[in-house]
A and B are shown apart, each in its own frame.
Chain A
Amino acid sequence: MEITFANSVMTASLTGEIDHHSAKEMREKIDFELIKRKPSKLILDFSGVTFMDSSGVGLVMGRYKKCSAIECRTSVTGLRERDKKIMKMSGLINVVEFI
């Protein structure tokens, strides 16, 4: 996973498989930078993700809550069609921007 900054936008480019095991490390890295840099927008880029289960939804939900607390918008991009289907099972589609 790579984290980059441009202006006040933080982009976390997720790679590989997202499950309960790998999500832990991803969220720790993202949260560390979120707290340190306090961006105005967080983009979670899923284009490098080869597999995800509902832990991917949990990852977005958790970051959305953390971002809301620091007035940062959350955006999700690069989801494969089947992963979009999993995201849609949650209510996230109403509160997070999906590109």
Chain B
Amino acid sequence: MNKLNYFKLVIPAKSANEGFSRAAVAAFTALADPTVEELSDVKTAVSEAVTNCIVHAYKEKEGLIYIDACFFENGCVRIKIRDRGCGITDVKKAREALFTTAGDERSGLGFTVMESFSDKLTVRSKPGAGTTVTITKYIKGKNDAH
């Protein structure tokens, strides 16, 4: 499948970058002419993935987050969000709704929300090496032209 456009972004794992990263991915996705709803879905899923890097992978300490977004000819937007943090021992368990290791103020819904607002979600993780979350969203757009 032909790549029509792409961008890469490397940012430090700071919570102030949660808003920046979802705005950057939203600006990129906007080039694919999505509906308001599709754009909000992408923003929400990216926000969850980046927050996981900060809260879980790097435990609110230093680290880098690598974002790699592509837009394909068939209207597919694929966003890879990668960290080199602690990794997830049990990915299946981490993806369960309401499961969290982060205490009272976290809902444990991060992966559930990502799944709900994307068309496909893959999670690859290696304890001690890091995690890659790939969010796939098909943009049908305002006039379904793709």
Contact = CB atoms under 8 A, between A and B. Distances in A.
A98 B102 CA distance: 25
B116 interface: yes
B51 A62 contact: no
Given A53-B47, A53-B48, A89 B113 contact: yes
B63 to A, nearest CB: 15
B62 interface: no
Contacts of A17: 19
B104 A65 contact: yes
A19 B113 contact: no
Interface string A1-32: 00000000000000001011111100100000
A58 B40 CA distance: 19
B35 interface: no
Contact of B113 (A20, A22, A24, A53): A53
Contact of B97 (A24, A51, A61, A89): A89
Query: Nearest 5 A-B pairs (CB), nearest first?
Result: A21-B15, A57-B107, A54-B109, A53-B47, A58-B107
15 contacts: A17-B19, A20-B51, A21-B19, A22-B19, A27-B105, A51-B47, A55-B51, A57-B107, A62-B104, A65-B104, A86-B109, A89-B109, A89-B112, A89-B113, A90-B107
B64 interface: no
Contacts of B85: none
Contacts of A90: 98, 107, 109
- Interface range for A: 20 to 34
Interface in B74-121: 97-98, 104-107, 109-110, 112-113, 116
Nearest to A21: B15
Contacts of A22: 19
Interface of A: 17, 19-24, 27, 51, 53-55, 57-59, 61-62, 65, 82, 85-86, 89-91
Contacts of B16: 21
A22 B16 CA distance: 8
A86 B55 contact: no
A89 B100 CA distance: 14
Given A53-B113, A91-B98, A19 B51 contact: yes
A50 B43 CA distance: 12
B99 to A, nearest CB: 12
